[in-house]
């Protein structure tokens, strides 16, 4: 008998005996590698065998779960104590703080937190949502939508989740197709206005905006930016906007191309509003490397990138951990049958 078959049979016996019943989840592949003294590939073959037999389910980014014949979710009395957190990027510089807020709120309440990442791709988002639906052991979902600035082909899955009675809380923003969603986020439109007015108060009169087009956060920050310029008495011909998408970063990295640097020089922009600190830090780096003078910059998130930049730029403070606490509190309340509304937090301004 092959090694993976021996391991699969052993795990079947343990599952039948209830060894993993309390958590409903198998240990990680690395734990099995250490336990059985075999390769990771052998462990994967064993788990694949269990999966083929319907003994376990897998959810990408969350782990391997024991299959159960369970009824459809009916409410708090049939809760499974599973909260799924779906984000775009797990290691992205904002998200770890949000997770800390979620964990600090749900720890000790009996809920298990399962985290998955979409890479801001709607196809992977679809797979994860389908996995959660098929598992039928989910009490609530905290989700950061993928490409929220564009029409989303997965709206039918979000609708199905709501029809199953599973509460949803969106991080940052929702989709236009789901106007009644509960959202916990920052007031992005107001942030854009604040950024514009900060540049104007600093004496800037020719301003460039660099925003992300495939997330609604970028669209809202641009809306606030342009509104702030108009409220200050300047005309829209005092500003110019450049847009980028997730694919631009994937294909080329976070760089500011020479064409944009030339525009900054040629048109004499004295102020720039950046979508976030990643863009602002790249702008400082690439302008410095090319020997250009760095204009006044206002950005968003107040991350370590702003605090460690060789040339200082101002960044509005993102209330990351508080956002996680709010999202976790709302999803727990909704699981228990309470009604919740969206909450948008003010930016921290120096």
For residue 342, give the nearest of 180, 154, 198 by alpha carbon. Answer: 180
Domain count, the chain: 3
Same domain, 302 and 237: yes
Q: Is the pLDDT of residue 159 over 70?
A: yes
Same domain, yes or no: 121 and 173: yes
C-alpha 186/C-alpha 343 separation (Å) is 8
In a domain, 350, yes or no: no
| CATH number for the domain harbouring residue 161 | 3.40.50.2300
Q: In which band, very low, low, confident or very high, does the pLDDT at 69 lie, cut at 50, 70 and 90?
A: very low
Question: Three-class SS of residue 62?
Answer: coil
Assess whether 197 and 305 both reside in one domain: yes
Indicate which CATH number applies to the domain containing 9: 1.10.10.10
pLDDT in tens, 290-314: 888 899 999 999 999 999 998 999 9
Is-contact 51 125, C-beta < 8 A? no
Q: Let me know whether 286 and 214 are in one domain.
A: yes
Return d(Cα 288, Cα 296) in angstroms, integer: 13
Assess whether 155 and 267 both reside in one domain: no
Of 14, 43, 66, at which residue does a domain stop?
A: 66
Q: If pLDDT is split at 50, 70 and 90, which confidence band does 73 have? A: very low
Judge if 137 and 86 occupy the same domain.
yes
Q: Kindly tell me the burial class for residue 74, based on how many C-beta atoms sit within 10 Å of its own C-beta (0-12, 13-18, 19 or more).
A: exposed
pLDDT per position as a tens digit, 254-302 = 777 777 787 777 788 899 999 999 999 999 999 998 888 899 999 999 9
Whole-model pTM: value is 0.77
Residue 226: give the domain boundaries.
Answer: 188-317
Pick the residue with more confidence: 140 or 261? 140
Task: Give domain status of residue 150, yes or no.
Answer: yes
Give yes or no: residues 112 and 133 share one domain: yes
Residue 71 inside a domain? The answer is no
Residue finishing a domain among 66, 97, 118: 66
The answer to whether residue 59 scores a pLDDT higher than 80 is no
């Amino acid at each position: 008998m092959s090694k993976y078959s021996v391991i699969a049979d052993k795990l079947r016996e343990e599952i039948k005996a209830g060894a993993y019943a309390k958590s409903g989840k198998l240990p990680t592949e690395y734990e099995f590698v250490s336990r059985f003294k075999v390769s990771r590939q052998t462990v994967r073959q064993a788990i694949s065998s269990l999966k083929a037999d319907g003994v376990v389910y897998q959810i990408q980014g969350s782990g391997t779960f024991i299959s159960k014949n369970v009824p459809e979710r009916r409410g708090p009395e049939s809760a499974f104590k599973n909260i799924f957190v779906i984000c775009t990027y797990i290691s992205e510089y904002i998200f770890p703080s949000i997770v800390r807020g979620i964990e600090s709120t749900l720890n000790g309440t009996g809920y298990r937190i399962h985290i998955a990442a979409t890479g801001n791709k709607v196809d992977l988002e679809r797979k994860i949502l389908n996995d959660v639906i098929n598992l039928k052991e989910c009490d609530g979902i905290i989700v950061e939508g993928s490409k929220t600035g564009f029409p989303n082909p997965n709206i039918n899955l979000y609708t199905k989740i709501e029809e199953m009675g599973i509460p949803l809380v969106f991080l940052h923003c929702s989709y236009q197709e789901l106007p009644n969603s509960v959202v916990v986020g920052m007031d992005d439109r107001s942030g854009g206005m604040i950024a514009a007015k900060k540049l104007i108060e600093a004496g800037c009169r020719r301003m460039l905006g660099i925003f992300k087009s495939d997330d609604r956060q970028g669209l809202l920050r641009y809306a606030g930016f342009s509104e702030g310029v108009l409220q200050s008495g300047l005309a829209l011909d005092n500003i110019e906007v450049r847009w980028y998408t997730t694919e631009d970063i994937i294909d080329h990295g976070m760089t500011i191309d020479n064409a944009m640097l030339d525009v900054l020089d040629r048109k004499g922009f004295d102020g720039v509003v950046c979508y976030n600190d990643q863009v602002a830090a790249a702008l400082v780096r690439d302008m410095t490397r090319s020997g250009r003078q760095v204009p006044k910059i206002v950005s968003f998130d107040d991350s370590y990138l702003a605090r460690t930049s060789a040339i200082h730029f101002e960044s509005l403070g993102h209330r990351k951990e508080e956002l996680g606490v709010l999202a976790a509190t709302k999803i727990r309340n909704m699981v228990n049958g309470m009604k919740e509304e969206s909450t948008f937090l003010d930016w921290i301004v120096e």
